[in-house]
Amino acid sequence: MSRSAHPAGPRHADVLPEGHYSAPAADLNALDEKVWSRTVTRDADGALTVGGIAVARLAEEFGTPAYFLDESDFRARCRAWADAFGPAADVFYAGKAFLSRAIVRWLKEEGLNLDVCSGGELTTALDAGMPAERIAFHGNNKTVAEIERAVEAGVGRIVLDSFQEIVRVAHIAQRHGVRQRVQIRVTVGVEAHTHEFIATAHEDQKFGIALADGQAAEAVRRALSLDGLDLIGVHSHIGSQIFDMAGFEVSARRVVQLLAEIRDEHGVELPEIDLGGGLGIAYTSDDDPREPHEIAKALSDIVTRECESAKLRTPRISVEPGRAIVGPTAFTLYEVGTIKPLEGLRTYVSVDGGMSDNIRTALYDAEYSVALVSRTSDAEPMLVRVVGKHCESGDIVVKDAFLPADLAPGDLIAVPATGAYCRSMASNYNHALRPPVVAVRDGEARVIVRRETEEDLLRLDVG
Ligand SMILES: *Cc1c(COP(=O)(O)O)cnc(C)c1O
């Protein structure tokens, strides 16, 4: 590949390729610490290392594509969240972001609680020894069998999502002779995504019970009237990948108003509120996420202020970060295959995975960064689109990014910040074998979820 055939980017406005990309970083070899996990660095040979192990060795031992999870970073983030919120609040890790038995054990050891939203997640949590009272069970359509199991296991809370579920959980609890601790999920009319939030008209969704038209107040009335339920609070989750605290502010204010109305009507002050998850992380250098202590302070200030003005005792707060804990702790390692330069446009770089290991780009137009990690390079930057090997032109991993123009088949590239919603949303499209998750810590690498095999595929296909 000659450099002239791979321009650093568009040379004329009329060939400006579509897409969202900033100018290439001054040094493509530099690793922005915002998007890489904490122990990632380059060794003397220029290869990326994580937990002290170079990617070439990881690729050789575990193959590609694979997710490498920085265990000490994961644990540090758990502790940062727990410390930031302190003993007067509870941090629930949202298991859907990524869950495995090793993750459950780490959460348990680091003092976090766990959100699950399916029988499968509940099984994983219990099997790995998470105490049931530290588990919250979510979901807009929990089956009767799932509710039975959650109640039998004695989960700390079930988050009620509909009027039908209020009755269903009450009956099941009564049948088991228990009072199940529950929260009611309300939709506060706020939807937040990344830098924006919209404060009206978002009751139009499958989750929760609307505050606006008195539905939530009615749900509280019913829950308080049923013997099988111990209503401990109200829950609100407003979106995902949020940077702006304004949406949480509106949400917290509306939830506290509801608590005040409940006190006025029923004479009870519900002891807890849950403000959900959704805190954003850096996928590219353009993102500026907040630290857990800033988030904790902002949320507790809002709640304290609103409670003072409503003359309420400040409830115990819980939060449910998923992405913000696990997202930044892993990267996906790929081997470069076919490279297709399109003069004046961009260069398509195909990797040995794709939408089966990272559906977020295709699904949400998510932005990611990418780096050449098996070596450094002084070549000029070239505008690339990193694509997978699936039979879909939408099979894009990184839509627009810069890689060195001397990139060649066999190079290893890595996409950082893939710890959340990548392995957990992975598929077998094209009978792809879902990649392993390898935990790396202090010079040791250990598979925590193994790579799927062709035997796994055939085992499910019973002929
Ligand atoms: C998805 C979800 C979360 C976690 O969201 P993140 O964006 O991963 O922080 C928390 N709570 C509820 C109810 C959710 O549905």
Q: Ligand 1 mean position to 87 CA, how many Å?
A: 22
Instruction: Report which of 303, 305, 237 is spatially closest to residue 270, judged by C-alpha positions.
Output: 303
Q: What is the largest CA-CA distance in the chain?
A: 77
pLDDT at 192: 81
User: Which residues fall within 8 angstroms of residue 306, CB to CB, at 6 or more apart?
Assistant: 252, 253, 256, 257
133 and 155: one domain? yes
372 and 442: one domain? yes
**Structural domain contains residue 14:** no
Residue 4 pLDDT exceeds 80? no
pLDDT, average across residues 382-402 = 97
Distance of alpha carbon 104 from its chain centroid, rounded?
Answer: 15
102-141 residue pLDDT tens = 999 999 999 999 999 999 999 999 999 999 999 999 999 9
**Contact between residue 427 and residue 373 where contact means Cβ atoms under 8 Å apart:** no
More confident residue, 121 or 245: 121
Find the CATH number of the domain harbouring 116. Answer: 3.20.20.10
**Contact between residue 320 and residue 237 where contact means Cβ atoms under 8 Å apart:** yes
% of the chain exceeding 90 in pLDDT: 89
**Contact between residue 356 and residue 313 where contact means Cβ atoms under 8 Å apart:** no
**Structural domain contains residue 2:** no
Instruction: Report which of 401, 432, 437 is spatially closest to residue 418, judged by C-alpha positions.
Output: 437
DSSP bridge pairs for 181 = 230
pLDDT at 191: 81
Find the CATH number of the domain harbouring 411. Answer: 2.40.37.10
Query: Relative to the CA of 320, which ligand 1 atom is closest?
Result: 10
**Local structure of 259: helix, strand or coil:** helix
Check if 353 has its Cβ closer than 6 Å to any atom of ligand 1: no
**What value does the mean pLDDT of the chain take?**
94
**202: pLDDT confidence band, cut at 50, 70 and 90?**
low
**Local structure of 144: helix, strand or coil:** helix
Distance of alpha carbon 52 from its chain centroid, rounded?
Answer: 25
- Domain carrying residue 201: 71-326
pLDDT at 9: 45
**Structural domain contains residue 403:** yes
**Of 268, 298, 326, which marks where a domain is finished?**
326
User: Which residues fall within 8 angstroms of residue 118, CB to CB, at 6 or more apart?
Assistant: 139, 146
Q: Take atom 3 of ligand 1 and give the residue whose Cα is closest.
A: 277
The count of C-alpha atoms lying within 13 angstroms of the C-alpha of 454, restricted to the half-sphere facing its C-beta, is 0
**Structural domain contains residue 35:** no
pLDDT at 21: 75
**Local structure of 119: helix, strand or coil:** helix
397 and 292: one domain? no
pTM above 0.85, yes or no: yes
**Structural domain contains residue 5:** no
296 and 334: one domain? no
pLDDT, average across residues 155-183 = 98
pLDDT, average across residues 238-262 = 94
Check if 289 has its Cβ closer than 6 Å to any atom of ligand 1: no
Check if 184 has its Cβ closer than 6 Å to any atom of ligand 1: no
What is the Cα–Cα distance from 213 to 2, expressed in whole angstroms? 65
Query: Relative to the CA of 322, which ligand 1 atom is closest?
Result: 8
Residue 200 pLDDT exceeds 60? no
Distances (CA, A) of 434 to 343, 384, 394, 426, 440: 34, 25, 19, 7, 19
254 and 188: one domain? yes
Residue 196 pLDDT exceeds 80? no
Supply 367's token pair: 């932005």
Catalytic residue numbers? 391
162 and 259: one domain? yes
What is the Cα–Cα distance from 299 to 294, expressed in whole angstroms? 9
341-350 residue pLDDT tens = 999 899 999 9
314 and 346: one domain? no
pLDDT, average across residues 250-255 = 94
Domains contained in the chain, number: 2
**Structural domain contains residue 20:** no
**Local structure of 215: helix, strand or coil:** helix
Q: Ligand 1 mean position to 194 CA, how many Å?
A: 14
Check if 323 has its Cβ closer than 6 Å to any atom of ligand 1: yes
pLDDT at 23: 85
**Contact between residue 315 and residue 361 where contact means Cβ atoms under 8 Å apart:** no
302 and 348: one domain? no
pLDDT at 6: 42
Find the range with the poorest average confidence among 189-203, 240-254, 422-436: 189-203
pLDDT at 16: 53
Residue 5 pLDDT exceeds 70? no
**Structural domain contains residue 391:** yes
443 and 393: one domain? yes
Instruction: Report which of 361, 341, 339, 358 is spatially closest to residue 350, judged by C-alpha positions.
Output: 339
**Of 326, 350, 379, which marks where a domain is finished?**
326
pLDDT, average across residues 285-306 = 95
Q: Ligand 1 mean position to 341 CA, how many Å?
A: 39
**In sequence order, what DSSP letters do the residues of 135-152 get, joined into one string?**
EEE--SS--HHHHHHHHH
304 and 370: one domain? no
**Structural domain contains residue 265:** yes
Crossing angle for the helix pair 144-153 and 163-175, to the nearest 10 degrees: 50
10-40 residue pLDDT tens = 444 444 566 767 788 889 999 999 999 999 9
Beta 89-94 vs 113-116: how paired, if at all? parallel
235 and 272: one domain? yes
pLDDT at 7: 43
What is the Cα–Cα distance from 251 to 264, expressed in whole angstroms? 20
% of the chain exceeding 70 in pLDDT: 94
**Of 326, 357, 374, which marks where a domain is finished?**
326
192 and 243: one domain? yes
pLDDT at 393: 95
